[in-house]
Amino acid sequence: MTDKTKQEGQQKKQRKKPKKTLLFIGLGVVVVLAGLLLLFSFKHTEAYTTSYTVSYALIIDNQTVKQDNITFMQGKLSSLLGLMSTKLDDAVASMQVGDEITLTLNASEAFGEYDESKRITVNRTNNLERKSEIDKFFYITLDKFVEVFNEQPIVGNAYSTQGLRWQLKVVEVNDSLVKLEHLAKIGDTMPLGFLGLTQKVIGVTSDKIILEIEGQPTSMETPNGVLEVSFDDDYVYFTLTPEIGQEVELNGVKGRVVEITNDSIVVDANPLYAGKQVVIKLKLLAKQKVKASISASCVYHPNAPTMQVFIMSYCPFGLQMVKGLLPVWKLLGDKANIELRFVSYTMHGPKEEEENKRMICIREEQCDKLITYLECFAGSGDWEKCIAQAGIDKAKLEQCMQFRAENYFKVDKQLNEKYGVRGSPTVVINGKVVEIWPRSPENIKQELCKAFANPPEECNQQLSTQNPSPGFGYGTSSAGGSCA
């Protein structure tokens, strides 16, 4: 090989080297990009939001009606104050610490236009006939008899169980029905369970039992005012006396008492400042990025189905739905938007109003603890134990229940009106009320999965097909119903 040939060969090798170098550089860029993509894909599982602290004043008709300092998560201030538009949140999002704004909202943007139809008149006095009668004989199914008394019926035998007024005698039995007779005697009494009233047997005929309500005139404080009970020969009268301005819930209407006459109570269910233009003066005191815990209740998933479950916290059938929902929430909470919401009225007394507020505050301010709390509460009904078990900040919770829960609840009330919610439970998927029965996890999962454009793999996972029992505890039952 000549020197010239060697020199040409070396030049060719030198010309090839940059190509190899470029190849390695290209591969390096691909690796770096792939690494960045992986990094960003892992980062995507960590959600962040912004916490704001502001001082604000609400001014109506040139009068300051409310002022406060408040801390809230991004996008939550309008709903917290009960405003109909998000203009205030939009303004706050562009502010820097120390900025001040004055924002004027018309009635439709603030607390809504005044609606005369929400000014409701209810009777101040209701009455109940003192005398009533029931059939002496009645039929139940054979299956129901066995379920109640835990044995087969025998003609002529008398049976009793907890909650019965008196014994029941089996008169006839066939393949599917049992004929029973009330073995009531004149003078038998049964408490009605409220205000010291009882029912007394005052007559027994061949086919009827005649009852009469007995009791003493009395009065007592209730959440809706002072309730007076009085009697005449024919009726028991219940007369309510609230105070003007008092928040009450009467005949399913929750609002303020604005007028009282001898015969009626006028309740205004409009927001307090409905129909008013509102001026808001606000100063941003603090602003910081915070990490949102990835849980079924904390992160919003764009373009995903939304399931809203409306309950009363002490409704046995609402609890039944919650128990069916929890496994679905755990399975699909990072794929769908699942929301616990509340019916706009209660049926189970002050304890339910208190618990609704407790759950709302956990939902809004300690959302990563909500599922754990619900699992515990649905099983035991012991909220104190469940707060500790879920690791909830009790001081923050109590402050929320006292000062902020009502404002959070206003959003639930608006959704009640929007969807026509009339009982517990009510399920809304993508804005449409959906009937789900039985309330098994598998059945709830299937309904939610129908709402996905492209159902995730989790929809193929089989959940329990057992219908949870109503009320507290994790049993199963074929029973169902609603609180309405």
- List every span in the chain annotated with CATH 3.40.30.10: 293-484
Of 6-10, 87-91, 174-178, 320-324, the one with minimum mean pLDDT is 6-10
Average the pLDDT over 179-187 and give the result: 95
Q: For the purposes of burial, counting CB atoms within 10 Å of the CB of 102, is it exposed (0-12), middle (13-18) or buried (19 or more)?
A: exposed
Average the pLDDT over 307-333 and give the result: 95
pLDDT in tens, 371-402: 999 999 999 999 999 999 999 999 889 988 98
- List every span in the chain annotated with CATH 3.10.50.40: 47-115+270-292
Q: Which residue has the higher pLDDT, 148 or 98?
A: 98
Task: Give the model's pLDDT for residue 455.
Answer: 94
40-57: b (≥16 Cβ within 10 Å) or e: eeeeeeeeeeeebebebe
Distance, in Å, from the CA atom of 383 to the CA atom of 380, rounded to the nearest integer, reads 8
Give the position of tokens 């070396």: 10
Average pLDDT of every residue of the chain: 86
Task: Give the model's pLDDT for residue 70.
Answer: 84
Q: Which fold has domain 47-115+270-292?
A: Chitinase A; domain 3 (3.10.50)
Q: For the purposes of burial, counting CB atoms within 10 Å of the CB of 22, is it exposed (0-12), middle (13-18) or buried (19 or more)?
A: exposed
Give the position of tokens 């562009």: 94
pLDDT in tens, 399-431: 889 888 888 898 899 899 989 998 999 999 999
Nearest to 97, CA basis, from 52, 61, 144: 52
Query: pTM for this structure?
Result: 0.50
Distance, in Å, from the CA atom of 330 to the CA atom of 279, rounded to the nearest integer, reads 43
Nearest to 319, CA basis, from 376, 248, 404, 247: 376
**For the domain 293-484, what is the CATH code?**
3.40.30.10
Q: Which residue has the higher pLDDT, 482 or 294?
A: 482
**Residues contacting 192, CB < 8 A, separation 6+:** 198, 199, 213
